[in-house]
Amino acid sequence: MKLAVVGHVEWVDFVAVDRLPAPGEIVAARDAWEAPAGGGAMAATALRALTGAASFFCAVGRDWRGFATLEALRGTGLEVLAGMRGDRDQRRTLTYLTADGERTITLLGPPLAPCGDDDLPWSALEDCDGVLFFAGDAAAARACRAAKVMVSTGRARAALVEAGVQVDALVGSVDDADEAVDEELLLAARPTWVVATESERGGAWWAPGGEGIAGRWAATPLPGAPVDAFGCGDAFAAALMAG
Q: Is the pLDDT of residue 199 over 90?
A: no
Name the pTM for this structure.
Answer: 0.93
- Mean pLDDT over 214-234 rounds to 88
**For residues 45 and 76, what is the distance between their CA atoms, to the nearest angstrom?**
8
Query: Which residues lie below 8 Å from residue 173, measured CB to CB, with a gap of 6+?
Result: 154, 179, 180, 196, 197, 198, 233
Partners of 15 in the β-ladder? 32, 96
Cα distances (angstroms) measured from residue 56 to each of 15, 38, 44, 175, 212? 26, 12, 6, 27, 36
With 80 as the cut, is the pLDDT of residue 8 above it? yes
Share of the chain above pLDDT 90, in %: 80
pLDDT band at residue 195 using 50, 70 and 90 as cut-offs: very high
State yes or no: pLDDT of 21 exceeds 90.
yes
pLDDT, greater one: 180 or 36: 36
Question: pLDDT tens-digit profile of 100-135?
Answer: 889 999 999 998 999 999 999 999 999 999 999 999
The pLDDT, as a whole number, for residue 148 is 97
